[in-house]
Structure 1
Amino acid sequence: MKFYQGEYSSKVWLVAALFGPIGLIVYPFFYSTGKFNLSLLQVYHVLVVIELTFSFLTWLLFGLVVEIVTRTIKVHIIQKSVLSLIGIALTLLTIYWFCGIWSLRIEHDILAVSLTNSICIVSGIWFFKTDPPVSPPISSTSNTPPINSNEN
């Protein structure tokens, strides 16, 4: 994997790991009580560690996907679209695999985590650049006069 694609996939992964748990905090506001679940703020750091741990293999796989997509697809918007779809699929597969949900029953909290993580993944994919930053070219003309070795 190229260094920059690894950096890119790491940034996207960290965005999801840091902001994904927020879904558990805000979902009661939308689905049931109309109040934020502020008690989960006390364990936010634990939720982040859980996210990082459970999604580690997904991050490695996503890094490989980023490398393949950026090498094979040259159109920027198509790159980002393909990465978004694959990122969502990997996110959902990881969440459902670790939660052990293979049935059609979907709990609200799992739905909230899935939705929040998917939004974070797609946001990170579109926010960060897939290409490494380009250094400005070194100018061959400079303000200093050339050194002449024939001077006495």
Structure 2
Amino acid sequence: EGIIARFRTMAIHRGSVLVGHVIGSVLQSIASVVLVGAVAVAIGFRSTNATALEWLAAFGLLVLFAVALTWIAVGMGLISPNAEAASNNALPLILLPLLSSAFVPVDGMPGWFQPIAEYQPFTPAIETLRGLLLGTEIGHNGWLALAWCVGLAVLGYFWSAAKFNSDPK
């Protein structure tokens, strides 16, 4: 809290504190994705039919997804009363990949659960990544994944900026 109070008194753009935090978090996420990707290749993952452009598109989607989720997490952190609550507020986001098509195809899920898995941000992103790297059908999932990423990033940015600028601390 002390460093943020100091930043607020300095002649810097107020949004630079948030943007700097998001850039740092996204760079950390990119490093994690590269590490996990290297381990996957080391233990045998091969994408035999993906072109360099498809690999680049997959990486770009992962970066865009990290930006979107980071902005949402910043908003959740700003509404939290303390650090402990901030670390726990984002826990529901951890469950979303488990409720998507990451492990089980949506068609193989119970009928009542299929809309939950289908209409959330992780399913189109996962299906798009599968299509880019494994050659499966992407269909409309690519556009849906981009729309989710942009929508969540914009929502998270405006939510975070409004909360940060209205906070008198």
**Interval containing the TM-score (normalised by the shorter chain):** 0.3 to 0.5
Instruction: Specify the structure having the higher radius of gyration (Cα).
Output: 1
- Relative contact order: is structure 1 or structure 2 higher (C-alpha 8 Å, sep ≥ 6)? 1
TM-score for the superposition, normalised by structure 1 = 0.40
- Structure that is richer in helix per residue: 2
TM-score for the superposition, normalised by structure 2 = 0.37
